[in-house]
Structure 1
Amino acid sequence: MNHVIPWRRLRRDARAPSRTDYAAAVYGSLLAASVIAASSTAGTFPRVETVVLLLVTGLVFWVAHSYARLVGERSAGQRLNWGQARAVGLREWPLVEAAVLPAVMVAISPLLGLGLTATGWLALGVAVAQQVGWAYVGALHATSSRRVATVEAAINLVLGLVIVAAKAALGH
């Protein structure tokens, strides 16, 4: 789903209304699910630690993806400018946004009367659900048929369920 933007179009894309990068949203959701599944309920403030870990991981991967895209799409000998960096950063921003809803679920879980185990499952469910949703919407936005969008959503559901199974197997 990720596609290369030629540098000659980057400048125009920076001025265009922002578009959602569905690939970054899907990847960010998968990343958030992985963080939740791997995070332990141990610690002095496990909910706070999980929220911070989700957001920091999203930010670090956003920087890494933005940098990789900038360097990877640059023509040999071409200098980068802040406009290009801004355009790429904005395009990759959904990677960070995908961590927000699972983090909010973790943060408000005490208001819902949830223990730590239920909190982890709620946040993981939200991350997987948004991953599947973004895959479906992204496919439709790419003018795929509903059938193709459903297949892409199903593939992402399987990926998410692998993480769910890993979490269940490890007893987190």
Structure 2
Amino acid sequence: MSRERQPSSDYAGAIYGSLLAASVVAGTGPGQEPPHPAQLTILLLATGVVFWLSHVYAHLVGERSARALVSAHAFRAAARRDWPIVQAAVPPAAAVAIGAAVGMSDAGAAWLALAVAVGSQVGWASYVAAVGGATRGRLVIVAAVNLVLGLLIVLLKAALTH
């Protein structure tokens, strides 16, 4: 029996942001040519920022009473808490840019970004489980569940582009 600890930070945003980035890549160009790497890079980063702002807004509205004004402190706390959503968009965006820089096709760069996003999702979820004190067996289950979820996004991408 393991003693599970709570991680000292909240990594939900990193996991969610990685899923979001994978979904962005999967949703681009179904049945047509993938976007140019510069467009996909901007789309990944912009989507991360828009969803970050949406989460900050939702937390602020959801956590305050109807008559209370939002303080600058509450805004900064919510913005910090959800910043990993934006950070999670950076590795797949960098993968697109690097893929294009080394001569990959637009489709190849998009697939690379998708692999990085799924890998990040699995990595963050596994890290959180490990920091939380999960046993090896639980780590394997966490990684497998997240990999399956990521692969479902990949399958969606493959199904929509063929």
Length-normalised TM-score, structure 2: 0.85
Structure-2 residue corresponding to 1:25: 14
Matched residues in 1 for 2:145 and 2:70: separation?
36
Decide which of 127, 131, 134 is 1:141's aligned counterpart: 131
Structure-2 residue corresponding to 1:89: 79
Matched residues in 2 for 1:123 and 1:46: separation?
13
1:169 is aligned to 2:159: yes
Structure-1 residue corresponding to 2:111: 121
- Structure 2's unaligned 5+ residue stretches are 1-7
Q: How does 1:4-15 map to 2 (within 5 A)?
A: none
Structure-2 residue corresponding to 1:152: 142
Q: How does 1:52-71 map to 2 (within 5 A)?
A: 52-71=42-61
- Structure 1's unaligned 5+ residue stretches are 1-18
| Secondary structure of 2:118 counterpart | helix
Contact residue 26 and residue 131 of structure 1 kept, 8 A = yes
**Backbone CA RMSD of aligned residues:** 2.0
Structure-1 residue corresponding to 2:4: none
Going from structure 1 to structure 2, the CA distance change for 1:88 and 1:167 (only over 3 Å counts) comes to: same
Structure-2 residue corresponding to 1:15: none
Identity across matched positions, percent: 50
Matched residues in 2 for 1:31 and 1:51: separation?
14
Q: Select the structure with the greater relative contact order (CA < 8 A; seq sep ≥ 6).
A: 2
Offset of residue 20 of structure 1? 4.5
Structure-1 residue corresponding to 2:25: 36
Going from structure 1 to structure 2, the CA distance change for 1:24 and 1:169 (only over 3 Å counts) comes to: same
Deviations 1:72-114 (A, max 9, x none): 2235544321111101111100100111011011112133221
Going from structure 1 to structure 2, the CA distance change for 1:71 and 1:39 (only over 3 Å counts) comes to: same
Going from structure 1 to structure 2, the CA distance change for 1:152 and 1:75 (only over 3 Å counts) comes to: farther
Offset of residue 168 of structure 1? 1.1
| Secondary structure of 1:122 counterpart | helix
Amino acid at match of 2:64: R
